[in-house]
Amino acid sequence: MKQLLRLGVVALTLVLFASSCVSYRERRLREFASSPLVGMVYDRDQKPCAGALIAVDGQEGPRTDINGRFVIDALRRGEHLIRVSKPGYESLEVTLSFQDRTQVLYLRVTSLGQLLREAEEALDRRRFQEADDLLRRAEALNADDPVGMYLRAVSFLKRENLEQAIGLLEKIRAQGQKAPAILLSLADIYQYRLEDLSRAAFYLRQYLDSEDSPEVRARLTELESRLAP
C-alpha cells in the first residue's frame, strides 16, 4: 500500500510539473511586449506575391521576398492595421490582433489580370452585374489597360450600347493597339449591327494587313462585290 501511495504521489507530482511547464510556455507565448511577426502574401491563384510592400499602422515596413514571405520585427502586442500594396494589385487592409508569438499572418491580394480573367468569365455567362463590378475594380487599377477596355466594350456590345462600344474600341486603336480581335469586332459592329458595309470593309482590310485569314478574305471579297457600282 505504501509503495502504491508513493507511486501515486510521484505520478501526481509529474502531472503537476508537466502542467506547470505547459502553463509557463503558454504564458510566455502570450505575455510579451513585442515579438517578430511572420506573414505571407499570395494571390487568388495561391501563388506567392513577391515585392509587395507591407505597412504597419501607416508606417512603411518590409517587402515580401520571392516566396511572398515577410517578417515584421519587434511588433508590439495588440491591435494593428496592416496594409499590403503592389502596382497592378488591389491594395489590402486588415486589422490584426497580435496576441500570440506563434501567429502567422496570411494575406491574399488580387491582381489586375485576375480581375480581367474573372470579368471575361462573367461576361461569357452573361452575369453582367458581376462583370461590371470586376471591371470597375480593374479600371481603378489601370483605366487604360487595353484588355480591360476591350472587355468593357464587349460588355457594351452585349447590352446593345453600340456607340459606347465603338468609342472604346477606337480608343484602343488610338493607343497603337491593332489586335485582330479589335478590328474584327469593329467590322462586325458596322456590318451586322449598323449595316455600314463600307466601314466594315475598311476594318476587314486593316485586319488582313495584320493577320491573314481565308475566312476574313472571303468575307471582304463578298462585301466589296456588294459595294461595287
Between 215 and 17, name the one with better pLDDT: 215
Q: Name 109's Cβ contacts closer than 8 Å, sequence gap at least 6.
A: 41, 42, 43, 44, 49, 52, 84, 86, 89, 90, 91, 92
Kindly indicate the confidence band of residue 8, based on its pLDDT and cuts at 50, 70 and 90: very low
Q: Under CATH, what is the fold of the domain 111-177?
A: 1.25.40
**pLDDT for the residue numbered 30:** 65
Kindly write down the DSSP assignment for every residue of 160-218, as one continuous string. Answer: T-HHHHHHHHHHHHHTT---HHHHHHHHHIIIIIS--HHHHHHHHHHHHHHS--HHHHH
Share the mean pLDDT of the chain. Answer: 87
**pLDDT for the residue numbered 29:** 54
Average pLDDT for 58-86:
96
pLDDT, one tens digit per residue, over 140-188 is 999 999 999 999 999 999 888 999 999 999 998 888 776 888 999 999 9
Residue 191: Cβ within 10 Å count: 19
Torsions phi, psi for 156 (to 5 deg): -65, -40
Can 32-109 and 111-177 be said to share one CATH topology? Answer: no
pLDDT, one tens digit per residue, over 10-65 is 444 444 444 444 454 555 556 778 899 999 999 999 999 999 999 999 999 999 99
**pLDDT for the residue numbered 11:** 46
**pLDDT for the residue numbered 4:** 44
Tell me the CB-side half-sphere exposure of residue 208, using CA atoms within 13 A: 14
Domain parsing of the chain, residue ranges: 32-109, 111-177, 178-224
Closest CA to 77 of 33, 23, 122: 33
Q: Name the architecture of domain 32-109.
A: Sandwich (2.60)
